[in-house]
A and B are shown apart, each in its own frame.
Chain A
Amino acid sequence: MRKIIALQDLDCADCAAKMENAINKIDGVLSASVNFMTQKIILDIKDDNATDTLKQIKSVCKKIEPDCILKI
């Protein structure tokens, strides 16, 4: 399943890279890229447990950049 998540207040490019790495390590994520310029996460995730995967993505991002809001 392809999904695009818009981000708000993603301020640092370095954090974007860290988020991308962390999201890619989550089970259920086939591929993810965090685009700092367009403030988006482009995701390809497995269809099973998609809500669970999204929850994990949210918490991972929160850990790295607490100010950044994911608009799922």
Chain B
Amino acid sequence: MSKNKKALIRIIVSLCVVIVTVVLKYTISESISWFKWLELGLSLAAYFTVGYDVLWKAITNIVRGKIFDEHFLMTIATIGAFAIGEYVDATAVMLLYQIGELFQRYAVGKSRKSIAELMDIRPEEATVIRDDLEIKVHPSEIEIGETILIKAGEKIPLDGEIIKGECSLDTSAMTGESLPRKASIGQTVVSGCLNLDGTIFIKTTSTYDDSTVAKVLDLVENATSKKSPAENFITKFSRYYTPIVVALAVILAVVPPMFEGISVGTVWLKWMRRAMMFLFVSCPCALVISIPLGFFGGIACASKNGILVKGSNYLELLAKSKIIAFDKTGTLTKGNFAVTQVVPENKREEILSLAALAEQYSNHPIAISICRERKADMSAQVQEIAGHGVKAVVNGSVILCGNDKLMNDYDIEFSPISDGTVVYVAQDGRFVGSIQISDQIKEDSHEAIAELKKAGVTTVMLTGDNNITAQEIAVKLNVDKYYSELLPQDKVTKLNELKQNEKVAFVGDGINDAPVLATADVGIAMGAMGSDVAIEAADIVLMQDNPASVPLAKRIAKSTLKIVTENIVLSIAIKFAVLILSAIGLLDKIAFGMIIAILADVGVCVIAILNSMRTMFIKKRK
């Protein structure tokens, strides 16, 4: 029988006895002289049925030298109530405490499970091909280089390369990206993705422990071990809170009666009751449970969206970051060059064809971007002039293709263009036109920057590029500030400057900016699926190569922190309210004052748990 079921049965039995006792008390108590003893007997029976484990724990804990725990407090409070003759009250208090505990345990268990399930994307089974037979095994039993079969509807258990078949993959569990992706022979696939249709055979490239899905889960599951300042505050708070409240309870029970009438029994009883209410609210459980639960929900929600957070402290730091700095190339821009403009536009075909002929053998990024636009249709004799460009001879005609220096060297008159990277093209000593090449901005960069600015974040762009290129991109994206011509170590210096007044998050692709990621209060690596370096260096890892994840991460962090703050304020406020009300005697008028105190304690806890669950449902803004 499960623990909860056992507890429930004990509660029901005890509750029945209490009801019988109360009924007897109001019906026959007048007629039986020894009813007081009957009431005591029934109450004790009910009390021990429901509360024996609390008493036992209190005793064993005292033996081990741990005095101030909730079991001890319950024991003291209820024994106190028995001592002053309120038998039914004492039993009801214990009963209510146990009901509260059960409810709380149930709520915590349920919420914990639903969050854990949200994240559990671990594949349980894999079909491996051994000696032409399909064998089903646990993924951990498969070695690198074996062939596995994944049918439609199955999860990819290990990283590998497709050797046969094709399919579309649902990568949402890993990246949060909802659009399916096509995969065919030769492509590598990542574990944790779902095969939507088709059958594929893959050759594994990782063991189970090293697979992407195992790493991702490891990261997220261990995330809450890095505690946030809010959690540390609570740990500290609870360490002082309980002893202080217990001390206050003792003072309340002893000091006022000395002035009000040291020899009057009822005065002592009155203050004893109030002191006991103090003991009930002295347990900081709502705080201790709901804060980590809130953060865990936030982390789970983030990971569902392809944002891996390595610790709740980073979630809190991100929520507080006023400045978010972006690396330019590869983060805000695609990092691959492309032809953006041809001047004059009416000679586009001719200019591109000539340039493609000249650049066809080069593997310089600029050459590649031109050849992507136009394939060269014949061969050429090419001479590269380092730092200037190329000179090509095709069918006796000389093509020059390069920068302004090349044009000047050959005394060619040309119309210069000042911004970005420009390739000038000339044929047989005559200028034909120019091709402007620049890095392309990612589709979502605009929106990401705009959303962050709306959220009151200062956006900063850091780049190693020259000022002209940097300015162009900065203006297009409307970032607040940009710094150009920075070497990697300059980026670190710049970030340290920014860090002086505000918390700063840095977003980079994690490949050559690991030191900057480490310097920032929160280092965010983007598009890091499968890149160990980035996962290692960053505090938050974005699985998608998409800047839109940054404002989403920021929003999840902010909402989580808000919910956590709500919990802290709510729990502390209600506890203090109960403390004050009972100290000044307002709860005396209510029949079951102690029960109010317990309800405040358990109720707050459950409200806080439910509130924490909201972190799981923070949505993408559309």
Tell yes or no: A5 within 8 A of B by CB. Answer: no
Chain A residues within 8 Å of B, Cβ to Cβ: 9, 11-14, 17, 33, 35-40, 42, 63, 66-67
Provide the residues of chain A in CB contact with B108, threshold 8 Å: 11, 13
Complex: chain A residue closest to B222, CB-CB: A42
Give chain B nearest CB distance to A62 CB in angstroms: 11
Q: Which of the residues B57, B225, B238 comes within 8 Å of A14, measured between beta carbons?
A: B238
Chain B binding surface SS class: helix
Contact partner, A13, options B64, B109, B115, B289, Cβ 8 Å: B289
Give the number of A-B contacts (CB < 8 Å): 46
Cβ 8 A contact of A11, one of B57, B105, B284, B296:
B105
Q: Give 15 new A-B contacts, CB below 8 A, not counting A12-B289, A14-B285, A42-B225.
A: A11-B108, A11-B109, A13-B288, A14-B289, A17-B288, A35-B225, A36-B112, A36-B224, A37-B112, A37-B115, A37-B224, A37-B292, A37-B296, A40-B221, A42-B222
Determine the residue in chain B with the shortest Cβ distance to A63: B64
A37 to B115, CA, bound (A): 8
Q: Counting CB contacts under 8 A, is B382 at the interface?
A: no
Residues in B with CB closer than 8 Å to A63 are: 64
Bound state CA distance, A44 and B224, in angstroms? 17
Please provide the 5 A-B residue pairs with the shortest distance between their CB atoms, ordered closest to farther: A33-B225, A14-B288, A37-B296, A13-B289, A38-B221
Known: A14-B238, A63-B64. A36 touches B292 (CB 8 A): yes
**Can you identify 26 A-B contacts, CB atoms within 8 angstroms?**
A11-B105, A11-B108, A11-B109, A12-B285, A12-B288, A13-B288, A13-B289, A13-B292, A13-B293, A14-B288, A14-B289, A17-B235, A33-B222, A33-B225, A35-B224, A35-B225, A37-B115, A37-B116, A37-B292, A37-B293, A38-B221, A40-B221, A42-B222, A66-B57, A66-B60, A67-B3
CA distance A20 to B48 in the complex (A): 32
- Which residues on B are within 8 Å of A, measured CB to CB? 3, 57, 60, 64, 105, 108-109, 112, 115-116, 221-222, 224-225, 235, 238, 284-285, 288-289, 292-293, 296
| A-chain residues with CB within 8 Å of residue B293 when the two chains form the complex | 13, 37
Question: In the bound complex, what is the Cα–Cα distance between A13 and B284 (angstroms)?
Answer: 11
Q: Nearest A residue to B64 by beta-carbon distance?
A: A63
Interfacial chain A residues near B112, Cβ < 8 Å: 36-37, 39
Closest partner residue, chain A, to B60 (CB atom): A66
Q: How far is the CA of A71 from the CA of B57 in the complex (A)?
A: 23
Q: How far is the CA of A66 from the CA of B61 in the complex (A)?
A: 11
A35 contact set on B, CB distance < 8 A: 221-222, 224-225
Closest-CB distance, B69 to chain A (whole angstroms):
9
Kindly list chain B residues whose C-beta atoms are within 8 Å of the C-beta of A17: 235, 288
